[in-house]
Amino acid sequence: MTATIAGLTLPDSVIAREATQLLRDTASDLLFQHSMRVYLWGALLADRKGLTFDPELLYAGAMFHDIGLTERFHASSLRFEVDGANAARDFLISHGIAEMDVQKVWSAIALHTTPGIPEFLHPEASLLHVAAGMDVAGRSYDQFTVEEREAVVAAYPRDEHFNEEIIDTFYEGVKRRPMTTFGTFNDDFIAAREPGFQRVDICSVILHSPWAHNEPNGRVPGLRGHGAGLEADLSVHPTVLPTP
């Protein structure tokens, strides 16, 4: 039976059902409930702003956007967002989705934690970005009515422990790959749980680069902590872009 929540009908295609089941089988209940709410926040916001979007693509984006935080990807050397985007890409390709639509979902997921960019892309990317921020941090909270918030949370609960538990979930998902948090806010999750965590300081990287010291061997002298392997890490583990 197709569910209707806050006036919205959830996608009920084969792709939507299989994506839902995959998330159920892979992620914690916390991430499942969060992902369902993310879809609803995004669809509600699109309705309010008069944005035209593909419900199935937004739904797939919501189901996969945090799957890179799950145990399956804990040993990955990629950003968790890229792991999720790649998983969504493979899933959609296996279901015969057009390359252009696959790319929409890939970019929406890959950039959903990157502020200042998704809002200038296609609706699926801008909606996923705002919706994830709404559910985790309450951004755009006042753009939803009390009735809408109550209906969404009644269907997919967000309890009083969510804030601490989502921080723990992010931490577990990125603590083994701290270099992937460089340039994002994801290093905040490590810092919150590891008081001794040393963030990469881009100014230090620049000031101690081979250019500053005329080092012909390409090493970065004087760089300590998680920043010490920055250049090597970025060259060995470049971001994996979607392939046709």
Helix (H, G, I), strand (E, B) or coil at 7: coil
Residue 233 pLDDT > 60: no
Triad 173, 142, 68: Cα angle to 5°: 15
Which pLDDT value is given to residue 210? 87
Which pLDDT value is given to residue 209? 87
| CA atoms of 149 and 141, how far apart (whole Å) | 9
Highest mean pLDDT among 84-98, 212-226, 227-241: 84-98
Express each pLDDT in 45-55 by its tens digit: 999 999 999 99
Strands 4-5 and 8-9: antiparallel
> How large is the greatest C-alpha to C-alpha distance in the chain, in angstroms?
67
Residue 156 pLDDT > 80: yes
Which pLDDT value is given to residue 105? 98
Residue 244 pLDDT > 70: no
Express each pLDDT in 173-199 by its tens digit: 999 999 999 989 999 999 999 999 998
Could you tell me the fold of the domain covering 4-195? Hypothetical protein af1432 (1.10.3210)
Q: How far is CA 151 from the centre of its chain?
A: 24
User: What are the sequence ranges of the domains in the chain?
Assistant: 4-195, 202-235
- Total-model pTM: 0.86
Residue 143 pLDDT > 80: yes
Residue 69 pLDDT > 90: yes
Nearest to 108 by CA among 136, 135, 87, 129: 129
| HSE toward the beta carbon, residue 199, CA cutoff 13 A | 16
Residue 132 pLDDT > 50: yes
Residue 172 pLDDT > 70: yes
Q: Are 23 and 35 in contact (CB under 8 A)?
A: yes
Residue 134 pLDDT > 80: yes
DSSP per-residue letters across 108-175: HHHTTT-TTSGGGS-HHHHHHHHHHHHHHH-TTGGGS-HHHHHHHHHHS---TTHHHHHHHHHHHHHT
Polymer length in residues for the chain: 244
The overall average pLDDT reported for the chain is 90
pLDDT band at 216 (very low <50, low <70, confident <90, very high): low
Residue 237 pLDDT > 60: no
Neighbours of 15 (CB within 10 A): 20
**Across 88-92, 122-126, 188-192, 211-215, least confident range:** 211-215
